[in-house]
Amino acid sequence: MSLSGAAVGSSRNLRRAVEFGKTHVVRPKGKHQATIVWLHGLGDNGSSWSQLLETLPLPNIKWICPTAPSQPISLFGGFPSTAWFDVVDINEDGPDDVEGLDVAAAHVANLLSNEPADIKLGVGGFSMGAGTSLYSATCFALGKYGNGNPYPINLSTVIGLSGWLPCAKTLVGKLEEEQIKNRAASLPILVCHGKGDDVVPFKFGEKSSQALISHGFKKVTFKPYGGLGHYTIPQEMDELSAWLTSTLALEG
């Protein structure tokens, strides 16, 4: 049976009604210490990443891998694809689909909302999944979504592989309040990008990490990978695992 349903919670006031695909869950093999929602890239699904994440040496993490709704993509001339939000063009000046980003970020928050109080919560992803994850980081810091609805989750970690930071230009002047500054400064973020990426150029990942740092996200780690294209490799997954173990103080 397909575990699908429209985003709820803070997304209920949005005009866009979407139906998410199947959600795949990887249960922790050891003591449950953290839950991370992992978001796939454009045209993919939650299953492929759940299979990879299950192989990582991270027995204390529960992974939740949802599948994005199928929706028309402007980049593809309106042809539908599984996507967290619409993409008009992959360039720095392209418009951001704030409504779609809010729906996706609210879906992530909803998936994390029922986790036990003592569990550390995070979001990560690849490509546009990374975009949604980094957008969620800004929502957490600001305490609200782009539409003004309150952001309800206390994030402990954010990961973005081969992606970019949507709405970076709109952050100017918004992270000045002390409470917002503290949330931004305390959130560990890992950004990884391949120098050979021909889909989402390397400079997007590099500039996104620089933008986060310039806006007060003090715990950003940026890892470049020479020769890596728009995919992941064991070295990247090994370093991600080590970073998560250290950042979340996992028992292993």
Give the residue among 235, 230, 232 at the shortest CA–CA distance from 49: 232
CB-CB contact of 186 with 219 (8 Å):
yes
Reading the block at residue 65, the tokens are 């891998």
Q: Which residues pair with 225 in a beta bridge?
A: 194
The residues annotated with a catalytic role in the active site are 127, 197, 230
Q: Looking at the chain, how many residues does it have?
A: 252
Distance between CA atoms of residues 143 and 245, nearest Å: 26
Identity of residue 252 = G
Q: Rounded to whole angstroms, what are the CA distances from 128 to 33, 59, 93, 144, 242?
A: 27, 26, 16, 20, 23
230 sits in the region (left: phi over 0; alpha: psi -120 to 50; else beta) called: beta
